[in-house]
Amino acid sequence: MKEKKNSSKMAVCLLLLSAVIIIALMVGSYHISPVQVIQTLLGNGNKLQNFTIFQIRLPRVVLAVIVASALGVSGGILQGITRNPLAEPGMIGINAGAALFVVLWIWAGTTDYYSTLPLFTVLGMPLLAITGSLLSVGLIYLLSSKGGIRPVRFILTGIGVNGGILAVITFYQLSMSKGDYNQVLTWTNGSLWGSSWNYILLTAPLVILLIGAVLFRSKNLDVLALGDELAAGVGLSVAKERLLFLLFATFLAALATSVAGSIAFLGLLGPQIAKKLTGPAHGKMLPMAALISSILLVGADVIAKNLFSPIEIPVGIVVSIVGVPYFIYLMIKER
């Protein structure tokens, strides 16, 4: 009975996602009707429609789904291992570390990455971002470990490290030319601006692989979420498992950041809503979180792209404008 209810919820969410995706493919400076969108997807579009959808809008939507799934699962893992419903990769410095490295990279003079996208840049950005976020997680880990990692201390240290990294980013941002600066701003606040099939080919397999690995071990995550004593009592090597999941969460957040900048609060919202729908078991909750985050991000991107057209605002800002009131609501409710 319960199983059936869950799968029907999943189906509803999938329907919602396809609806948002179709809207995302429809709207823009060249409007395409829903029927035409479906026809084009089935291979019956004219030249202009084919180009708009397959070369411009579809990569962006697919990238949004990949990024959102990665961030949603990453947030879900972090909330599990820290046992704090408010933990989120953006707030505890994982995204900032990745962002710092990419900002340094842009600052060092590779400014043409928006226009030409040479292969090296395409490969280099994710690697760089992953290096950056691993370093920042390593730093947070070192600073907060004192006879083992306490979840709360980990989060708070993350917030501090985040603040420090953001100050350094600001420093580099300010010495850029106005054009570069606006690009970096769009980037540090999260944007799907530079989406292309190249990025998707690179990130999609990795993200799917990582999410698969997390789901495969999701039972251990359930046990960790019960608390250290209980987990140790069941015979789980708490420190090792926590580190492993932390690495998974970091890699996922880093991959997302490398292609879409730092999108805050998505990793908070997705898992939160998913938990309400499916209950706390991570095996069911994490896929749902990926799905919900995707709906949110694709929707937010439609708003970011079209609300003030032709000016595009960073999609991460749209997400935080929706996410923060919800966050505050959670905080007030929690007392």
Partner 1 sequence: MKRNTIILTAAGVLLLFAGMILSVHIGAKNIPVSEIYRAFFHYDDSLNAKLIREVRLPRMFLAILVGGMLSLAGTMMQGIMRNPIAEPSVMGVTQGATLAVSIAAVSSFVSGVYGNFFMALLGAAGSGMLILIFTMGKASNQSISRILLAGTALSTFFLSLASVVALLGNRSQELAFWVAGGLRQAGWVQVGIVASAGGFFSILAFASAAKINIISLGDDAAAGLGISPERVKLRIILYLVPICGVCVAAAGNIGYLGLFVPHIIRKLTGNDYRRLMPLSFLYGSTILLLADIAARTISAPYELPVGLFTACMGVPVFLMLVRKEKR
Q: Say whether residue 144 binds partner 1 (CB under 8 A).
A: yes
Residue 84 or residue 111: which is nearer to partner 1 going by CB?
84
* 187 touches partner 1 (CB under 8 A): no
Q: Does 120 bind partner 1 (CB under 8 A)?
A: no
- With a CB cutoff of 8 Å and minimum separation 6, the contacts of 93 are 136, 137, 140, 158, 159, 161, 162, 165
For position 328 contacting partner 1 by CB under 8 A, the verdict is: yes
Token readout for 267 is: 């990793």
- Pick the closest to residue 302 from 60, 53, 35, 42 (CA basis): 60
Residue 75 · residue 266 · CB < 8 Å: yes
Q: Is there binding between residue 320 and partner 1 (CB under 8 A)?
A: yes
Q: What CA–CA distance (Å, rounded) separates 312 from 301?
A: 10
**Three-class DSSP category at 239:** helix
Which position among 8, 127, 308, 309 is part of the footprint of partner 1 (CB under 8 A)? Answer: 308
Based on the shown chain and the rule CB under 8 A, indicate whether residue 260 belongs to the binding site for partner 1. Answer: no
Cβ-based nearer residue to partner 1, 83 or 217: 83
Question: Quick one: which segment of 7-15, 20-28, 269-277, 310-318 binds partner 1 (CB under 8 A)?
Answer: 310-318
* CA terminus-to-terminus distance, the chain: 34
Q: Are 169 and 96 contacting, i.e. CB atoms less than 8 angstroms apart?
A: yes
- Verify binding: residue 12, partner 1, rule CB under 8 A: no
DSSP string, 169-227: HHHHHHTS-HHHHHHHHHHHT---TT--HHHHHHHHHHHHHHHHHHHHTHHHHHHHTT-
Only segment of 7-15, 42-50, 128-136, 182-190 that touches partner 1 (CB under 8 A): 182-190
Our CA dihedral for 149, 152, 153, 157, rounded to 10 degrees, sits at 120
The 3-state DSSP class for residue 49 equals helix
91 touches partner 1 (CB under 8 A) = yes
- Minimum distance, C-beta of residue 220 to partner 1, in the bound complex (Å): 23
Q: Is 136 in the site for partner 1 (CB under 8 A)?
A: no
Cβ nearer to partner 1, comparing 30 with 308:
308
Binding site for partner 1 (CB under 8 A): 84, 86, 91, 143-144, 146, 150, 152-153, 155-157, 159-164, 167-168, 170-171, 173-175, 178, 181-182, 185, 189, 264-265, 308, 311, 313-314, 316-317, 320-321, 324-325, 327-328, 331-332, 334-335
